[in-house]
Amino acid sequence: MKKRAVVLLSGGLDSATCLAIALSRGYDVFALSFDYGQRSASELLAARAIGLAAGIEKHLVIPLGIGALRGSALTDHQVAVPEQESSGIPVTYVPARNTVFLSYALALAEVSEAQAIFIGVNARDYSGYPDCRPEFIAAFETMANLATKSAVEGCPIKIEVPLLMMSKAEIIKSGTALGVDYTSTVSCYQADMNGRACGLCDSCRFRRKGFFEAGLPDPTRYQST
Amino acid sequence: MKKRAVVLLSGGLDSATCLAIALSRGYDVFALSFDYGQRSASELLAARAIGLAAGIEKHLVIPLGIGALRGSALTDHQVAVPEQESSGIPVTYVPARNTVFLSYALALAEVSEAQAIFIGVNARDYSGYPDCRPEFIAAFETMANLATKSAVEGCPIKIEVPLLMMSKAEIIKSGTALGVDYTSTVSCYQADMNGRACGLCDSCRFRRKGFFEAGLPDPTRYQST
């Protein structure tokens, strides 16, 4: 039987590369994306396009219901709302993000009998997020292997993080070597409905710098062009 | 500031007791329930009733989107479907269940600044589930304390499992002593829309035996009465 992996696919540059790496390692891939409200529509379209381009047949989009959580939490903390908004927390912010994503991936791994979960976290460029660190990933894997019947009964699950220590330029070079077309990927925090990037946000600047340092043309579709 | 806890509230006997214990320990409680499709409607109504009876002001119901996951997995394993159905896996079965529930609870704990998460797991009566064991809970807590900004920055989260080693009779006695009215709780795997129990399934038999061994009248509303 061919080995199988669940790959978390956001529609961004990192997860598109992660998908290509999983395929290059011979996995039959079940892609998993999340719908957490309208603002993520262009990301989801990008995720679909990337999956189709890679020939993925199984791609699941799970509605996350995180809007309810955010809304409720904010209702309960009315004083904090304006401050939080003005300090620039994006509307797509998901609390305990990678824990929630990986938990659904674990559920899908259980029902689809996958041996691995690929997630495109990176500890170098985004070191501010605790759930992108190697120690978090290791702790999640330990927990996951105590959580499900299949894992306990001798089919352990591996959390694969191939991009963990790569620079953005290294990620882009790896993906390009594997044939990834980055044109349809969306990294921008405020992409428009057609997936065109603002060119100004942190994510856009990281990405542009990555292509520059990789010595490759930037195929990103910007809103001004 | 009053200490706060997220309490997972399913509408069953165990989680109703767990809620009463959290309140008795002085926590301001944010209750959390999940909607995973129509069959859980009577459980959700029970959860609402239990929360209201306990004076809980903050109660969040998150749509789980797990139906999509199940459906997709089944689509991908068409041969296995009839066998799985006949072997009695309930439609409310959630893969990697406690991992997914606790991950949302962690997200809610992060945004609501809670110090604890209460979950009514029990390793004695349901020892078949790997995610009800103490080692799973300990591993989840370790992971959770590496996952969020607040936990990493000195406000660790504690996973509280007060029912872990109790028998069903001990749970019922504890809850009764704390004033829990078990009439509105729903434990039955196939309760009707009014929350009345079948009296025949495993869960009903465990529950009935619990009241008997506790020496307390069984207030369960059965479908035949």
CB contact at 8 A, A175 and A166: no
Q: Distance (Å, rounded) from C-alpha A36 to C-alpha A149?
A: 29
Residue corresponding to tokens 């062009």:
A225
When CB atoms are compared, the residue of B58, B100, B135 closest to A103 is B100
Is-contact A117 A102, C-beta < 8 A?
Answer: yes
Cβ–Cβ under 8 Å, residues A220 and A207: yes
Does residue B220 form part of some domain?
Answer: no
Size of interface A-B (CB pairs under 8 A): 156
Q: What is the pLDDT of residue A81?
A: 31
- Does the distance separating the beta carbons of A69 and B60 come in below 8 Å? yes
Residue pair A140/B106 in contact (Cβ under 8 Å)? The answer is no
Tokens of B158: 């504690």
β-bridge partners, B7: B31, B118
Element (H, E) at B133: none
Question: Between chains, do A151 and B139 touch, taking CB under 8 Å as contact?
Answer: no
* Residue B190 backbone phi and psi in degrees, to 5: -135, 45
ipTM for the whole complex: 0.88
How far apart, in Å, are the Cα atoms of B221 and each of B170, B183, B204, B218?
21, 7, 11, 9
Q: With contacts defined as CB-CB under 8 Å, which chain A residues touch B2?
A: none
Burial annotation A110-126 (CB, 10 A radius, 16+ → b, else e): bbbbbbbbbbbbbbebe
Query: Best mutation site among B61, B66, B101, B103 for testing chain A: the one with the most A CBs within 10 Å?
Result: B103
What are the distances in angstroms from CA B102 to CA A184, A223, B157, B158? 34, 40, 12, 11
Please give, rounded to a whole number of angstroms, the shortest distance from the CA of A196 to a CA of chain B: 29
Set of chain B residues whose Cβ sits within 8 Å of the Cβ of A108 = 69, 73, 95
Task: State how far the Cα of B218 lies from the Cα of A162, in Å rounded to an integer.
Answer: 55
pLDDT, residue B72, reads 46
Dihedral, B100, B117, B15, A78 alpha carbons, nearest 10: -90
Q: Are strands B116-118 and A28-35 parallel, antiparallel or unpaired?
A: unpaired
- Whether A100 and B104 lie within 8 Å, measured CB to CB: yes
Task: Report residue A150 CA to chain centroid gap.
Answer: 25
B202: three-class secondary structure by DSSP: helix
**Contact: A100, B98; criterion CB under 8 Å:** no
How deeply is B98 buried, as exposed, middle or buried, from its count of CB atoms within 10 A (0-12, 13-18, 19+)?
Answer: buried
Yes or no, beta carbons of A131 and B147 under 8 Å apart: yes
Residue A57 belongs to a domain with what CATH number? 3.40.50.620
| Token digits of residue B223 | 């479908």
Distance between CA atoms of residues A198 and A147, nearest Å: 41
Query: In the prediction, which pLDDT does A20 show?
Result: 98
- Across chain B, which has 225 residues, the per-10-residue mean pLDDT values are 92 96 97 78 89 93 73 38 39 78 94 94 76 95 93 90 96 97 88 86 89 95 81
Cβ distance of A107 and B98 shorter than 8 Å: no
pTM score, whole prediction: 0.89
Grouped pLDDT means (10 residues each) for chain A, 225 residues:
92 96 97 78 89 93 72 38 39 78 94 94 76 95 93 90 96 97 88 86 89 95 81
State which residues form the domain around A36. Answer: 4-183
Beta strands in chain B (DSSP E): 4-8, 28-35, 58-63, 116-118, 158-160
- Does B33 reside within a domain? yes
Label each residue of chain A as H, E or C: CCCEEEEECCCCHHHHHHHHHHHHCCCEEEEEEEECCHHHHHHHHHHHHHHHHCCCCEEEEEECCHHHHHHHHHHHCHHHHHHHHHCCCCCCCCCCHHHHHHHHHHHHHHHHCCCEEECCCCCCCCCCCHHHCHHHHHHHHHHHHHHCHHHHCCCCCEEECCCCCCCHHHHHHHHHHCCCCHHHCCCCCCCCCCCCECCCCHHHHHHHHHHHHHCCCCCCCECCC
In this structure, are residues A69 and B112 in contact, taking their beta carbons and an 8 Å threshold? no
Distance from CA of A100 to the nearest CA of B (A): 5
Beta bridge partners of A58: A30
Residue B222 within a domain? no
What integer pLDDT is reported at residue B66 of this predicted model? 65
Q: How far is B157 from chain A (nearest CA, A)?
A: 12
CB-CB under 8 Å, A131 with B148 = yes
**Secondary structure of residue B35 in the 3-state scheme:** strand
* A193 in any annotated domain: no
DSSP string, B38-57: GGGHHHHHHHHHHHHHTT--
CA nearest neighbour of B18 among B174, B167, B125: B174
Closest CA to A175 of A61, A53, A4, A60: A53
Give contacts of A91 with chain B, Cβ < 8 Å: none
| A81/A77 Cα distance (integer angstroms) | 7
Q: Is there a domain that residue A101 lies in?
A: yes
Q: How is residue B27 annotated by DSSP?
A: P
Count structural domains, chain B.
1
Q: Which one of B60, B135, B142 has the shortest CB-CB distance to A72?
A: B60
